[in-house]
Amino acid sequence: MNTGFSNDTAQVPFGSYELISKLAHGGMAEIFLGTKIGSPHDAKPVVIKRILPELCRDRWFLAMFINEAQLAAQMNHPNVVKIHGFGEMDGQAYMVMEYVEGLDCWRFSRRMFPWGDDHEAIAIRIIIECLTGLEYVHRLKDVNGIPMSVVHRDFSPSNVYLSVDGSVKIGDFGIAQIDSDRYRPIKFIAKGKFGYMAPEQVEGSNVDRRSDVYSAGVVLSELLIGRKLFSGNSRLSVMLNIRDGRTEVLDNNAERISGGVMEILRGALAKKPSDRYQSAAQFADKLSEFLVSTGREVSAEDLGRLVRRAVDLRDQRSSTPDSVHERTPITANELVTEAIFDAKNDGLDLTNRFAGLEAEPAEFDGTPVTTESVSFRSEGRYLARIADGLTIGPTSYAHIIELIYSDRIGPQTEISVDGHQFHQSNDFPELARHLPVYTPTCDVNDVATPDRRGFLEMEVPTEVLLTLAAGRESGLFVCQSGQRRKEVYMVNGNPVYVGSNDSKELLGEFLVGKGVIDRMELEMALALLPKFNGHMGDTLIALGMVTAVGLFGHIKDQVLSRLEELMGWREGNYEYYRGAECRSGVLELSINPFNFVKEKVLRDVQDINAAMVLDEMGSCLVAPTPILPELIGLLNFPTEIAEKIESVSDWLTVRELATAAGKSQIVLARALYIALETGLWAFDGRLPPWRQVKE
């Protein structure tokens, strides 16, 4: 194995230690094998992890490093890597850790698959040991006996260490969540190992020990079937598969898993934390009971024998056809080779990124970005044949996207790239994802007939949305106002995605508006966008401008912002197409339409001029709609508003309602606004003043 630590620098002094060889060099720290100066010749070596010099002044990295050192130093368990001490030397923070002679589970699984005659039992034994360590960590208390509620948040095969004596230890607590004032809060940032996150981590929700239980279930699945449970051609696609509970890989490899084990796995991999095992101990007990009941217990000696064999095989490859390892050899530079392979298994290509580098695989799993790719993608490469035979170009990708969003380029527009033959724009992946799914029914080429249509002056978007939600509709709700178009996809009554032809609502522009990235960074991302098939999110992640988990939250905010803007439209028309589905690859959300509309109208109603509204609408007739009894409970408005809305049982003028309301004029005006905007009341008369479009 190439350690990256040359012989002429061996025995480099570092404080009271001597550095023997470099074991790894990652994005945050470098790791050495070392010994205590003056220690006996036969003393066991230690591992010294020190933060990279360029990161020593970075408060986030430093806080993460100190947290890991403090937490690990407090722990004392046979299944947790022991910390002997930590400190600072020449401006570099470091920690001294227990040396586990062997290798991590990531490499063990790739060097040897399957593991002997009872591969399943060995995999289960490894995870039971890990769960025992996690249970200890989860139950840690501080010096005052107060629970710290520690969550590892980064449990994966590369953080599990297997010893030649058969012991199993977990380590790497750099991003652990710790509920204690003695530790600095660390925002969760996945260090490349997105495939092991729990659904609640993906969505940026609160996590607890059940998140680690889920991750342990993912790792066990991988050890059993020899491949990743969650993979994809981008980080976002991996995260979507986790969020949606896409475990088809497990089902497709069911022949490798005993029925009893599969059932146990389901209890760990439940999407909702409340449906999972509630502790690591509960998961471990289920696995232990299975091994005992089947008489397949594995000893430490058995596991140690396999680990020793895996260490000896580091420069060889498995001869087993089904091995994950079969597709790539272990070379002298095995850290790089294995990392490239692991990325390829996810559909990514990192070969250029790793040229001349040695790094831990967890630090790299994004598509490489090079100087050549930036200059290449910045040139005008596109020709577009638009209406009347006019050809635009050569022009940039960004300009082509602008033409798509201004409706000058459609799915059938002919495009040429780099001087090649013209093809329809929807044949190019980087363009197809930006093309509108919906084509207006007035187009002669459109044969679809909407199941419902109307005018936004009479039925505002909030009213239509709630009607579709109450009917648990699945389909496409399209609104058109002048040149603006919004497409709301519904699944079982819930909006899951909102498309827009407004270029100002594109993800890049949205992030610039929020101050997440600046204009120059957006221009750089646009230049590289075709390299990532038009996926702005993947481009921003690869450039390091956003994190994958952070991007997930930004896209949710973007979709909600689009929907919020649509709910304010007061002119135009709408159409609804039952059964229309969202294009593949789109990040689908699950927005509660009742909560969304309730919060919006309650915000907007604060600006209502009660006296003016009641005066202008005095002669207008209002009456409850048939849907009122169903919607009023779902919307859950404040009591005084709900009671005022429910008090109307037949057609009445607003003036009659105002007379009956007495001094409660403000409550009535607000109830009137809310009832009309949500479709709880019908009206007959002039348009309400807030719906009248000013010239």
Cα 620 from Cα 683, distance rounded (Å): 7
For residues 76 and 214, the model is more confident at 214
User: Which region, left, alpha or beta, applies to residue 20 given φ > 0 means left and ψ of -120 to 50 means alpha?
Assistant: alpha
Task: Note the pLDDT of residue 124.
Answer: 94
Domains observed in the chain: 7-98 (3.30.200.20), 104-170+191-312 (1.10.510.10), 328-368 (no CATH), 375-432 (3.30.1490), 452-591 (no CATH), 594-691 (no CATH)
Give the model's confidence band at 395: pLDDT under 50 very low, under 70 low, under 90 confident, else very high.
Answer: confident
Asked if residue 132 has pLDDT above 50, the reply is: yes
Choose the most confident range, by mean pLDDT, from 14-23, 526-535, 634-643.
634-643
Neighbours of 458 (CB within 10 A): 10
Task: Note the pLDDT of residue 222.
Answer: 93
**For 328-368, what is each residue's pLDDT tens digit?**
222 223 333 333 333 333 333 333 322 322 233 333 333 33
Local structure of residue 679 (DSSP, 8 states): T
Neighbours of 349 (CB within 10 A): 11
Task: Note the pLDDT of residue 319.
Answer: 38
Neighbour-count burial for 642-664, b at 16+ CB within 10 Å, e otherwise: bebbbebeeebbbeebbeebeee
Task: Note the pLDDT of residue 389.
Answer: 67
Cα 164 from Cα 420, distance rounded (Å): 58
Cα 624 from Cα 631, distance rounded (Å): 11
Percent of the chain with pLDDT over 90: 35
Q: Which two tokens stand for residue 633?
A: 């409970």
Give the model's confidence band at 590: pLDDT under 50 very low, under 70 low, under 90 confident, else very high.
Answer: confident
Task: Note the pLDDT of residue 203.
Answer: 80
Distances (CA, A) of 98 to 44, 78, 170: 9, 11, 12
**For 417-454, what is each residue's pLDDT tens digit?**
888 888 888 788 778 767 766 544 333 334 468 899 99
Asked if residue 511 has pLDDT above 60, the reply is: yes
Q: What is the mean pLDDT of residues 235-252?
A: 84
Cα 50 from Cα 93, distance rounded (Å): 6
Strand residue runs (E) in 26-81 = 29-36, 46-51
Task: Note the pLDDT of residue 6.
Answer: 43
Distances (CA, A) of 496 to 42, 319, 489, 557, 594: 63, 47, 6, 13, 14
Distances (CA, A) of 434 to 395, 462, 533: 17, 26, 10
Q: What is the mean pLDDT of residues 603-619?
A: 90
For residues 246 and 237, the model is more confident at 246
Task: Note the pLDDT of residue 5.
Answer: 43
Task: Note the pLDDT of residue 575.
Answer: 93
**Dihedrals φ, ψ of 167, to 5°?**
-85, 155
Asked if residue 208 has pLDDT above 60, the reply is: yes
Helix (H) or strand (E) holding 415: strand 414-417
Strand residue runs (E) in 283-386 = 382-385
**Which has the minimum average pLDDT: 36-50, 298-312, 464-478, 604-618?**
36-50
**How high is the mean pLDDT of the chain?**
80
Sign of the C-alpha dihedral, residues 337, 342, 344, 345? positive
Give the model's confidence band at 563: pLDDT under 50 very low, under 70 low, under 90 confident, else very high.
Answer: very high
Asked if residue 166 has pLDDT above 50, the reply is: yes
For residues 406 and 133, the model is more confident at 133
Q: What is the mean pLDDT of residues 68-72?
A: 78
For residues 428 and 605, the model is more confident at 605
Asked if residue 488 has pLDDT above 80, the reply is: yes
Q: What is the mean pLDDT of residues 196-200?
A: 91
The CA-CA-CA angle for residues 72, 96, 302, to 5°, reads 75
The CA-CA-CA angle for residues 327, 333, 337, to 5°, reads 30
Helix (H) or strand (E) holding 319: none
Task: Note the pLDDT of residue 37.
Answer: 84
Task: Note the pLDDT of residue 651.
Answer: 93
**Which has the minimum average pLDDT: 309-313, 453-457, 663-667?**
309-313
Classify 372 as helix, strand or coil: helix
pTM assigned to the model: 0.62
**For 565-583, what is each residue's pLDDT tens digit?**
999 998 899 999 999 887 7
Give the model's confidence band at 387: pLDDT under 50 very low, under 70 low, under 90 confident, else very high.
Answer: low
Task: Note the pLDDT of residue 103.
Answer: 87
Percent of the chain with pLDDT over 70: 81
